[in-house]
Amino acid sequence: MSDILDVPRPIVAAPHFAGTPVNLERFSTAEFAGDERVELWEQHNARALIGLECRTLNEMPLEAVETNVHLSQLQFAHVVANAHVVERSSRHIATQASDGVALYFTLFGESFFYHRDGVHILRPGDLLVCDVNEPFMRGFATGLKEFVIRVPKALFDEVSDEPVGATPTTMRFAGQRDANAHARSLAQLLKSALTAPKPTDAVATEAEAIHLLHAMFSADPTQRYAADRHAAESYISRNLRDPQMSVVRVAEGVGVSERQLYRAFNETGASVAKVILDRRLDLAHCILTTPGSPSIGDVAAHCGFLSHAHFSRVFRERFDATPAAVRAEGPSRRS
C-alpha cells in the first residue's frame, strides 16, 4: 500500500551523542481473535490517542495497525487499517473527554468526515484539523493510511492566530502546487519519527513539530520567521551527520524557499551555513573530549565532514587547537 509521501529520502544514522530517543509503541489487531479486535482497538486508541467508537463494514474482521509516539506535549500516530467507520459522538465525548486538537494527514484512500455543519471528502494529500471534543464521524470505504497529531488545546491556541473552532478546517500538504509547505514538512517529520529505521531525538523532534505548527497557523511574519528558524535549527541538529546537508537541503526539509530561510536567519547575524558548521564542530569537540573517542578521521566523517584536511583546518580556527591536541588532553579541554 503506497502513499503520497513515498519518495526516496536519505537515511542517516544517528550520532553517538543523540538526545532522548523517540520510543515507538505498536499495536496490531492481528494479535487477537476477530471478535475481540474492535473492543481492544477502541481501548488502545482511548489510551494512546483519541477515544473512538469503531465498527467494521460487511462484518469483516478489523485489520489495523497503529504506531504511536508519546512526547512531552504532542502525540504522534501512524494508522493503517482496512474498511471501517469511527465515531466520536456527544455521548462518547461526555464519558471520554480528550483535551486537544487533532491533525489528520491522509496518505492513502478516500474517506468522509461528517461534523455538525457538513461533510468533508478527504483524499491523499489532504490535512484536516479539528477539535476532538466536537462530535464527528469518519468512514473509510477502501481502508486508510494516515498520520495523526494530537496537540493540547492550550498549545494550539499559542501557535495559532485563532483558536480552533467547532467546524474543522482543511488544507493540502502534498500533491498540488498550492500545498502548504510547512504542513508537508510536518508530514515528513512524522514519517521520520514514526517509520524511519533510526533513533530520533525526542526533544528536537517535538520542538521542530511545534515550530512547524506555528508557521502553519500564524500569519505574523515575525512569528513565521522565528518558527522557520527554529524548525531549521532542529532539522540541522537531527541531520548533522549527513555530508550532503546544505542550505538547499535545509530549506527543502523545513518547507521554505532559500530566500525565506536567509531572511529567517538574517536577524541572528549567523548564516545557515555557519550554523551547520558550528553545530558539526561542537559535536566533534564533544566526541573528542570523551574518553575512548574514535580516530580523528572517524570523528570527521561521523560529523558530516567529507575532507579530513578541511575538518582539521576549520576545527583549529574555531577552537585554537588541533583535533589531535583536544583528543590528547581529553575532558580537561571540554568547553
Sort residue 332 into left (φ over 0), alpha (ψ -120 to 50) or beta.
alpha
**Cα gap 196→8, rounded to integer Å:** 12
Does domain 275-333 bear CATH number 1.10.10.60?
yes
Instruction: Provide the pLDDT for residue 9.
Output: 35
Instruction: Provide the pLDDT for residue 211.
Output: 87
Which has the closest alpha carbon to 133: 49, 50, 45?
A: 50
Instruction: Provide the pLDDT for residue 76.
Output: 97
Q: Which residues contact 161 (CB under 8 A, 6 or more apart)?
A: 217, 218, 219, 220
Instruction: Provide the pLDDT for residue 314.
Output: 95
Instruction: Provide the pLDDT for residue 234.
Output: 79
Instruction: Provide the pLDDT for residue 332.
Output: 52
Which has the closest alpha carbon to 136: 196, 223, 74, 51?
A: 51
Domains of the chain, by residue range, sit at 24-184, 275-333
Instruction: Provide the pLDDT for residue 71.
Output: 93
**Cα gap 272→265, rounded to integer Å:** 7
E strands within 5-143?
A: 24-28, 53-56, 64-70, 75-81, 84-88, 101-108, 111-115, 118-122, 126-131, 136-140
Low-confidence ranges of the chain (pLDDT < 50): 7-18, 333-335
Instruction: Provide the pLDDT for residue 13.
Output: 32
Q: What is the pLDDT of residues 101-155, one digit of tens each?
A: 999 999 999 999 999 999 999 999 999 999 999 999 999 999 999 999 999 999 9
| Cell of residue 242, nine digits | 549527513
Looking at domain 24-184, what is its CATH homologous superfamily? Jelly Rolls (2.60.120.10)
Instruction: Provide the pLDDT for residue 28.
Output: 97
